[in-house]
Amino acid sequence: MASAPRLAIDFGTSHTVAVCEWRDGEGRPLLFDASPLLPSAVLADAAGRLLVGRDAVRAGRTDPGSLEPYPKRRIDEGSILLGRTEVAVVDVVAAVLRRCADEAVRVAGHPIGELVLTHPAAWGPRRREVLVDAAGRAGLPRPALLAEPVAAATYFTTVLARSVPTGAAVIVYDFGAGTFDAAVLRRRPDGGWDVADSQGLADLGGIDLDGIVVERVRAAVAASDVQRWQRLTQPGTVSDLRHRQSLWEEARAAKEQLSRRSTAGLHLPIFERDVHVTREEFESAANATIERTVALTAATMSSSGLDPGQVAGLFLVGGASRVPLVTTSLHRWLGLAPTIIEQPELVVAQGALLATVAGTGRTAAAPPHVIPVSAPFSPANGAPTPGQPVAPVGPPTRPALARRRRRSTWIGAVAVALVLVAAVVVAVVVRANRQPPLSAQGLANEQVIQSPPLRAFARPWLDHVTACEQRTPDTYGGRATEYVACAGDGWEVQFRALHDRNERNLSRDQRVEAYDGIREVFTGERPESGTLVRYVYGPRLLVIYWDDDDSAMVGDLITAGDSDLDFSALLRVWEEHVR
């Protein structure tokens, strides 16, 4: 007799993935319109009914005001206005979960017996409770809540059979369509995971890479016909709304093709012509975006106190992690070879299912990163009743899972080898250091700096500071030939030209040794290459120091006045301007 289906749902910003197991063996991704990726979009139609997935996206082309394409981003809001209908956020989430459950029941032929829902590691009790309530309103059984990086780590150490000894750590790099997250996890003696640190970028995802492709297209055609391009970017008719949707679908497909080929073509609606984008063009434009994610990953490693020698794996999750430049940049910055798979979008949902044991309702990882909801739901109101907590147990072992491990390990090894070859090829490509012209304010600040090399080193900041001034060059023991300080918003940035590289090395070592500084793990091209160190100067000032391998230029980013910036925030300021 078939057992009750087990269902794991990864409710994502742009897409939701559900994996179901309804027979003894491995779970299978559910298909929605022949795809394992269900758009998380929800739309309220004229009758107040909630449409989900591609049905919502299609209806939204003619009624965009009633569509919410990214409900996960609205998780902190009590309600959402969809057209003229105000809908509780928990009901919007419940509609997505119910769509997954309906498909699971249709395929399995039985009601769901066990449910796991994933969530970002940084989510607190209030956000997790929205998931709990949504599952109840969707008529689903009580869920176990599992942190997304824990689910990903479970997948890589079971399906791909990656060995991670007790005390060692893994890094999960999750580049989804709508957001980016980096997490460091340590292996516990019981086989579970502790999240040592996690950080994210809520405003950056694969959609931004699609936008880079759209921008390349705009640069190629907009000048020849501004009015037609405005119809694509500011549609005023139902037909033009469809054209804009088609443009972004073409851009996404071209981005994915550039992960496999050196060039991609896309059809441009309204213009009725084909445009080609090369991988080199795309990577040149996407480099700053991708390196934001890599810089945050490096910062997460540093803030977790992780020793690089303790890293047992760097795991790539999310569809945008397919872009070859991601692997190249991570390998260059961190010195680690990432582990990639064919379908990174499915990793979290599959790992969540593997972290539970069929028929027990128990999870393979203990709190705080797996939160078992011990109370059954009342379908009428979603309210739980008291119950007992769930104890952790080990991961499942099945013959089908063992076969898949061997197959996936071989595929993963081949994929990593191919990506590393591509990384070497990309690394030797020399690109011009194109920089946009400075604003009037930037030009005024540039005039304060006398040394041309120091001007080049300081250039990324000059549009974003209010004023620059010369200070006494020998303030730091006579090492500087020129010393310029510029004021920012809650911070100050200083630039110094030292006499030679030996003086630069002494300056670097002083910050590590005398001020007990912490070296960040990063490399790169001028002007940001070399060494970056974070340290505390005096009782309150936080400082990020960096220098340039090819010259004697150095910089200090310092918190100013009563600034409430911490090192993570300060590093984001540095990364935004320099990288």
CA distance 329 to 447: 34
Please report the pLDDT score of residue 227 as a whole number.
86
368 preceded by a cis bond (ω within 30 of 0): yes
- Summarised one tens digit per residue, pLDDT across range 379-421 is 333 322 222 222 222 222 333 333 333 333 333 343 334 333 3
Residue 573 confidence class, pLDDT cut points 50, 70, 90? confident
The pLDDT of residue 61 is above 90: no
Q: How confident is the model at residue 186 (pLDDT cuts 50, 70, 90)?
A: very high
The neighbouring-strand residues paired with 482 are 497
- Mean of the pLDDT values across residues 522-544? 69
How much is the average pLDDT of 435-452?
83
> Whole-model pTM?
0.61
* pLDDT, average across residues 205-223: 87
Which domains are present in the chain?
6-159+351-396 (3.30.420.40), 161-340+402-431 (3.30.420.40), 440-578 (no CATH)
Of 24-38, 183-197, 391-405, minimum mean pLDDT range: 391-405
pLDDT at 565 over 70: yes
Looking at the predicted structure, is the pLDDT value of residue 220 above 50?
yes
How many CB atoms are closer than 10 A to CB 110?
13
Distance from the Cα of residue 28 to its chain's centroid: 25
Q: How far is CA 55 from CA 92, 106, 310, 495, in A?
A: 15, 18, 46, 55
* pLDDT for residue 90: 95
Q: How far apart are CA 301 and CA 309, in angstroms?
A: 12
pLDDT tens by residue, 272-324:
888 899 988 999 899 889 989 999 998 888 888 887 778 888 999 988 998 98
pLDDT band at 25 (very low <50, low <70, confident <90, very high): low
pLDDT of residue 425: 33
Top pLDDT among 138 and 513 is at: 138
The overall average pLDDT reported for the chain is 79
- pLDDT tens-digit profile of 165-185? 888 899 999 998 888 999 999
Q: What pLDDT is recorded for position 398?
A: 32
The answer to whether the peptide bond before residue 165 is cis (omega within 30 degrees of 0) is: no
Sign of the dihedral defined by the CA atoms of residues 295, 298, 300, 303, in that order: negative
Interatomic CA distance for residues 474 and 291, integer angstroms: 35
Average pLDDT on 11-19 reads 93
In the sheet that holds 193-201, the strands lie side by side as 193-201, 180-187, 169-175, 311-317
Question: Please, which pLDDT band fits residue 236 given cuts at 50, 70 and 90?
Answer: confident
Q: What is the mean pLDDT of residues 57-83?
A: 88
Q: Of 124-128, 200-204, 223-227, 567-571, where does the model show the most confidence?
A: 124-128
Greatest Cα pair distance in the chain: 83
Q: What pLDDT was estimated at residue 388?
A: 27
Place 538 in a pLDDT band, splitting at 50, 70 and 90: low
pLDDT (mean) for 106-116: 91
Return the bridge partners of 20, or none: 7, 28
For residues 18 and 24, what is the distance between their CA atoms, to the nearest angstrom? 18
Tokens coding 156: 């890589």
With 90 as the cut, is the pLDDT of residue 540 above it? no
Give the integer Cα–Cα distance in Å for 138 and 16.
15
Residue with tokens 């395929």: 107
Q: How many other C-beta atoms are found inside a 10 Å radius of the C-beta of residue 231?
A: 19
Mean pLDDT of 248-254: 89
Amino acid 389: pLDDT: 27
> Confidence band (pLDDT; 50, 70, 90) for 483?
very high
Burial 256-271 (b: 16+ CB within 10 A, else e): bbbbeeeebebebbbb
**pLDDT number for residue 356:** 63
Mean pLDDT across the stretch 448-454? 87
Banded pLDDT at 2 (limits 50, 70, 90): low
Residue 269's alpha-carbon distances to 58, 211, 230, 243, in angstroms, are: 17, 16, 12, 6
Residue 70 contacts residue 91 (beta carbons within 8 Å): no
Mean pLDDT score, 234-239: 80
d(CA 94, CA 382): 11
pLDDT at residue 8 greater than cutoff 60: yes
Mean pLDDT of the 473-500 span? 84
Window from 40-44, 469-473, 568-572 with minimum mean pLDDT: 568-572
Q: What is the mean pLDDT of residues 502-517?
A: 79
Nearest of 251, 309, 316, 242 to residue 282 by alpha carbon: 251
Can you tell me the mean pLDDT for 440-467? Answer: 87
pLDDT at 539: 60
- Residue 28's beta-bridge partner residues? 20
Q: Are 480 and 498 in contact (CB under 8 A)?
A: yes
Give the H/E segment covering residue 416.
helix 399-427
459 contacts 438 by C-beta, under 8 angstroms = yes
| Neighbour count for residue 295 (Cβ, 10 Å) | 25
Q: Calculate what percentage of the chain has a pLDDT beyond 90.
A: 27
Answer yes or no: is pLDDT of 27 > 80: yes
CA distances to 33, 185, 430, 442 from 353, rounded to whole Å, are 22, 19, 45, 53
